[in-house]
């Protein structure tokens, strides 16, 4: 393994091991009035997922069968599709085939109404990842391009770290639809050792242009594990100061030295509205699909 590969691998390990709260995808939500029957209780599931149960005549019935909802409505409207999708994203285990079907149906609706890319701007929370949630960060897309032959081996090690929790993951996007440029900041919280070590792996990228209709071309700039609980433990009150002023790792430039062009990746957005977004790594559109909900709507169960 080359020195640059070793440095990037060490960055991954640092983000995972310097990460004091364990977390996962959070769907802690408030229900819109009258959106569900009055008797509702919540049951916390593994990985932090909250499944809603509706009480009917004293019996609890899980509101989680998105597959049945799809069958009952052969041609659901967009609102119903989004409702079914969010429900499916809450199920454990995840019904990936159902989610993929719902995403395809949502994508089909864009043929009548083209995507309004100006809606990209804002704060987004990840609610579903077809791959490991860390792969929602475009840094990992660039890493895959730089090390196509060894990246899967590296990910097998990092994904297999015991007592590791991932999430929540957020993206902040500022996009100028006239200039077709902007900024993207990816933040993925990583907790290891049962929550004893946490950090937020933060990658910053510039949006340099738009290819085709909905493809954002991103240039990876820096990656840094922020808010490290390990630094706070070791350095006490100096920890936050050191964390804030520590330089970010120039991941983009380092990847370019490994393989020219690898720091440039493309985010394909196949569905977008005021509250929901489906984006993919264009290099792996079938295996790296991500569903995002705008943070302003995170207090609602449905959009």
**In whole angstroms, what is the distance from residue 181 CA to residue 189 CA?**
27
Query: Which H or E run contains 265?
Result: strand 264-272
Q: How many CA atoms lie within 13 A of 90 on its CB side?
A: 24
Environment class of residue 57 by beta-carbon count within 10 Å: exposed (0-12), middle (13-18) or buried (19+)?
Answer: exposed
Q: What is the pLDDT along the chain (303 residues), one digit of tens a residue?
A: 455 555 555 555 544 444 333 333 333 333 333 333 333 333 333 333 333 333 333 333 443 444 444 444 455 689 999 999 999 999 999 999 999 999 999 999 887 677 888 999 999 999 999 999 999 999 999 999 999 999 989 888 877 777 678 889 999 999 999 999 999 999 999 887 666 678 889 999 999 999 877 899 999 999 998 876 655 555 566 656 656 767 889 999 999 999 999 999 999 999 999 999 999 999 999 999 999 999 986 555 555
**In whole angstroms, what is the distance from residue 90 CA to residue 294 CA?**
16
Judge contact between 5 and 147, C-beta under 8 A: yes
Question: Could you read off the pLDDT of 180-221 as tens digits, one per residue?
Answer: 999 999 999 988 766 667 888 999 999 999 987 789 999 999
Q: What are the tokens at 220? A: 């990876």
């Amino acid at each position: 393994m080359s020195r640059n590969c070793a440095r990037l691998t060490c960055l991954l390990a640092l983000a995972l091991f310097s990460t004091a709260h364990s977390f996962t995808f959070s769907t802690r939500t408030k229900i819109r009035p009258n959106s569900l029957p009055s008797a509702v209780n919540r049951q916390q599931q593994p990985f932090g997922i909250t499944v809603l149960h509706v009480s009917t005549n004293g019996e609890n019935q899980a509101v989680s069968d998105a597959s049945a909802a799809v069958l009952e409505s052969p041609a659901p409207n967009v609102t119903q599709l989004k409702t079914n999708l969010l429900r499916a994203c809450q199920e454990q285990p995840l019904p990936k085939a159902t989610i993929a079907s719902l995403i395809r149906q949502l994508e089909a609706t864009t043929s009548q109404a083209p995507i309004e890319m100006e809606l990209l701007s804002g704060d987004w929370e990840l609610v579903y990842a077809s791959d490991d949630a860390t792969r929602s960060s475009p840094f990992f897309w660039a890493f895959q391009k730089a090390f196509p032959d060894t990246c899967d081996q590296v990910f097998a090690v990092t994904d297999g770290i015991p007592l590791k929790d991932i999430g929540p993951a957020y993206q902040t996007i500022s996009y100028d639809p006239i200039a077709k440029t902007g900024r993207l900041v990816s933040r993925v919280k990583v907790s290891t050792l049962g929550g004893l070590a946490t950090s937020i792996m933060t990658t910053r990228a510039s949006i340099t242009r738009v290819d085709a209709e909905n493809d954002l071309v991103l240039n990876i700039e820096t990656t840094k594990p922020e808010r490290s609980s390990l630094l706070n433990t070791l350095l006490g009150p100096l920890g936050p100061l050191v964390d804030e002023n520590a330089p970010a790792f120039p991941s983009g430039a380092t990847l370019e030295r490994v393989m020219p062009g690898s720091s440039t990746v493309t985010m394909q957005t196949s569905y977008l509205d005021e509250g929901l977004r489906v984006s993919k790594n264009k290099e792996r559109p079938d295996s790296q699909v991500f569903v995002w909900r705008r943070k302003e709507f995170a207090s609602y169960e449905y959009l």
